[in-house]
Structure 1
Amino acid sequence: MKSFFKPWLLAVLCINVLSIFAVPIAQAHGEKALEPFIRMRTIQWYDVQWSTQKFNVNDEVSVSGKFHVAEDWPISVPKPEASFLNISTPGPVLIRTERYLNGKPWTNSVSLEPGGDYEFKVVMKGRLPGHYHIHPFFNLKDAGQVMGPGVWLDIGGDPADFSNTIQTINGEMIDMESFGFANGVFWHLFWGALAAAWLLWWVRRPLFISRYRMLDAGLEHELITAQDKTIAKAVLVGVPVLVLALNAVTANSYPDAIPLQAGLDRILPLPAQVNAGMVNVDTLKAEYNVAQRAMLLQFSIDNRSQGAVRIGQFSSSNVHFMNADLASVNSKPGKDDVSNNGLSLSDNTPIAPGEQRTVTVEVRDAAWESEKLDGLIKDADSRLGGLLFLYDDVMGKRYISSISAAVIPKFN
């Protein structure tokens, strides 16, 4: 029997050891976990940029940009009546020091309006050296996290140099890294010891079978002794009195403490742009070719502006498909979330002022599969969403249209 199990145990041990080295380290934050229709048709990010991607411990870094709250909000997703913008990091590698929405300081959750555009900025400070993948993201109540575009940040320096000192209301300087740590550890140990003592008091005597026999014999009144009742009364009275007394001492020691905020901010969207409505885009059709990994979009574009416009890019779920023939909007090659050659048009000539044209746009790229956006055709809500960017090179203007359409799958 012993010789039979030994080879199997050795094989299992080898498999476990090899799996440790074979499985790659996770470098993502679940940005592809949500269904495609949620990522495409809720928060539509654009113009997101970082002040720098290389800095040292204690140096500040900021991320800023804009996002559009889609008009065609999915019916199965709760409305964004309580949302919170944060930064997704692999641990406490940064600390957030400031946050702004439409130029206003912002600390609480916020109610967003579908159809509105917002401008955000988050300021952080480097805490732990390393190479990290970072995202801004919106946490939507009852829906989950909608990730923004991610970048790699390189934080240099010595972690021992990090400082997080602030000044309190009464002028005292405190180190947030260690303030109250010893006090917190003490009270955790105190309440843990009290709970353990209470538990041990009851389990020190025989359990289950012995107590069952006493109950069966009608001796249940002997299971709890007078001493048990006395200790229970002492705990029942002593714990609330201790909590209230310590709360009074703490309130007296820190009379100017500000409680944690639980309000809901209401910040209006950015004012409508002066050129809003100058270029109207109506989505006529959306087809996804599974074999070719290509999305075929048909738009009716009505140019009411004073200059000729051209389609420059289509953005959906943080993936930007660029018009390679429009050099002025072409992004740097090699960027993960940009496809410089993924967008082609049936008619790439400028759309003249006053002209209304139907344009077929093909977005062909492996990103549909690698970003798990092709799963859209398997969703119960199979609708595409995104932002279409049109440019007037002569006048230097940009027109952004949020588009949406039901997707028809094609398998040949």
Structure 2
Amino acid sequence: MSVTDEKAANGALQRTYKKIYRHLMPLLIVAYIISFIDRTNIGMAKATMSVDIGLSATAFGLGAGLFFLTYAVLEIPSNLFLTRVGARRWIARIMITWGIISCAMAFVTGPTSFYVMRLLLGAAEAGLYPGIIYYLTLWFGREERARATGLFLLGVCLANIIGAPLGGLLLTLDGMAGWHGWQWMFFIEGLPAVLLAFVVWRKLPDKPADARWLNGDDLRLLNAALEKDTREASHTPGRFSLKAALTTRLFLLLVLIYFTHQFSVYGLSYFLPGIIGSWGQLTPLLIGLLTAIPWIAAAAGGILLPRFARTEQRSRSMLVAGYLIMATGMAIGAIAGHGVALAGFSLAAFMFFAMQSIIFNWLPSIMSGHMLAGSFGLLNCLGLCGGFLGPFILGAFEDRTGVATSGLWFAVGLLIVGALVSVFIQTTPAAVAGQNARARQ
């Protein structure tokens, strides 16, 4: 193919990608916005809810983290079910069940019911994130996938930008119809998931061939790009194998890196409103508005940075630098005054979802099919142990020291470990071939 023909083909492929972005990404982003609001809105409810139902900071952190226990355990089966029944059906099912349980959070009466509902919410939502990440591999080639994942992760940022002020506003309904403000918040914020599930059922195609808005030329270009990725990558067996995943060096390194990432992201997500609330006599709405600022920075990072991770070497360099920047930002947040601390949290958040999109972009280089879908679920499952431990450890530190930011130093140390481990990530043909040979033994 001549240089001119190659440029024309690339231009046509980019036009196809634009169609995919326009038709798929808004729906996926909105779904993830709602899911993240429903899993993290207890951060806004922490102060009043803890008093009303008798939760210590440790008990709150444990309940916040228990979500990830059932979420993690059910990740792999959920992702494998998605490959069997299709994204449209499975994502709609996830949304209906998590929406109903999120509404039911309004009826918790004490620590035990709080723990039970968080476990149920995790079980209901299990598989959403890795399922959608796998789904994106059906629509985007490797060079475009990091950007697509970064845009999808905008949902997390927008959830906090929208959710924190919205939660603060709903908390002002305290006393209406005899309900506490946090009860209104849980009930109202759970309803959109149920309603959007029916839109997903009607509008989300399972695969490119089912998309009426792609023509024959679009499908040929897309299939050619995906087949090129398949030819250039060294893949583990297509059928999912736990042994194959756990004996693959790259996979284990990604688990460790993702664990440190999730510890920091969810520790900050659940405790940032409380940290800001400790700065003085602030209204719930003002706390929500200030909480949104770091997530605006996270959205900017998610948009701007992933597009540069087009090669293995650049992706590795970005991970190392990004983790060191996150550690620096968390350290500033732990020691600085209010305004500078907020800037530090914003610096850390700027890297949050750019790094996450890069992490999940490595696996398709060495895996495919059911092996890839199951490994996405397993990576999210093991990495989310950090999502469980982050809120729990930050809560335990707060109870022990009386200082809301004391647990951040634990996160700083883990992020430095993540930066060091990132140095050793590689998918060179020789390294991958050796890993796959060991996995097949």
Answer with 1 or 2: which has the greater Rg.
1
After TM superposition, is the score higher than 0.5?
no
Give the TM bin, normalised by the shorter chain.
under 0.3
TM-score of the pair, normalised by structure 2:
0.21
- Which is richer in strand? 1
